[in-house]
Structure 1
Amino acid sequence: MRSKLNFSNVLSFLISALPFVIYQFMYSTMPRNIAIHYNFNDVADRFVDKSNPEVWLLCGFSFISFIIMLTLQPYFSRQFKSEKGSAIMESLPGLFTLLITLVFSIIGICFLLKA
């Protein structure tokens, strides 16, 4: 079963691409070494070069979560089927995708802004 192209999926994709866009704009102004891990006291304890693949991975968590949620949408659609076929129940898989993508995108953006 193929997931249909709808507004929430398109919006989720755009939100998942946002950390990459911000990274590209900030790249020239970022310091050479950026903090990639913080301890419980909010003190940076691991630094990498700004072009390190780990930075791309942190930016890509939102896109990875979008892909995972997109592949799970058919399962969620079957779980939320109602006899009445209400519009709210049918839109829940797309809203879940949007919510999860938004959370991971915010995490990636906060990481970039703190760098």
Structure 2
Amino acid sequence: MRSKLNFSNVLSFLISVLPFIIYLFMYPRMPRNVAIHYNFNDVADRFVDKSSPEVWLLCGISLISFMLMLMLQPYFSRQFKSEEGSAIMESLPGLFTLLITLVFSVLGICFLLKA
């Protein structure tokens, strides 16, 4: 089943690529080695090169979560189908996609700003 193009999906996609845009903008000013893991005391304990695939993956978590939620939207649509067909219930899958994408995008952006 193909998901229709709607405002929440377009907004989710734009939010999911935001960490990549920030990464490309910050790349020339980033230090050669960036921290990708912090311990419980908020002290960096793992560093990688700024062009490492792990940095790309941390930026891409929001895009991966967006694609996963997009694939799950038909399932959520069936689960939230109400007899009245209210607009709120029909928009819940898109809102879930937006929320999950936003959470992972904020995590990626926080990682980049801390680097």
User: What TM-score do the two structures reach when normalised by structure 1?
Assistant: 1.00
Distance, in Å, in 2 between the alignment partners of 1:14 and 1:5 is 13
Q: Which residue matches 1:17?
A: 17
Distance, in Å, in 2 between the alignment partners of 1:85 and 1:10 is 23
Listed as ranges, the gaps of 5+ residues in structure 1 are: none
Percent identity for Structure 1 against Structure 2: 87
Distance, in Å, in 2 between the alignment partners of 1:35 and 1:83 is 51
Q: Which residue matches 1:4?
A: 4
Distance, in Å, in 2 between the alignment partners of 1:13 and 1:78 is 22
Q: CA deviation at 1:74?
A: 0.0
CA RMSD in angstroms, aligned pairs only? 0.3
Listed as ranges, the gaps of 5+ residues in structure 2 are: none
Distance, in Å, in 2 between the alignment partners of 1:13 and 1:89 is 21
1:86-106 CA-to-partner distances (Å, cap 9, x unmatched) read 000000000000000000000
* TM alignment of 1:24-103, pairs within 5 A: 24-103=24-103
Question: May I ask how many residue pairs the two structures share in their alignment?
Answer: 115
Query: Given residue 67 of structure 2, which amino acid in structure 1 is its aligned partner?
Result: I
Q: CA deviation at 1:70?
A: 0.1
Distance, in Å, in 1 between the alignment partners of 2:56 and 2:98 is 21
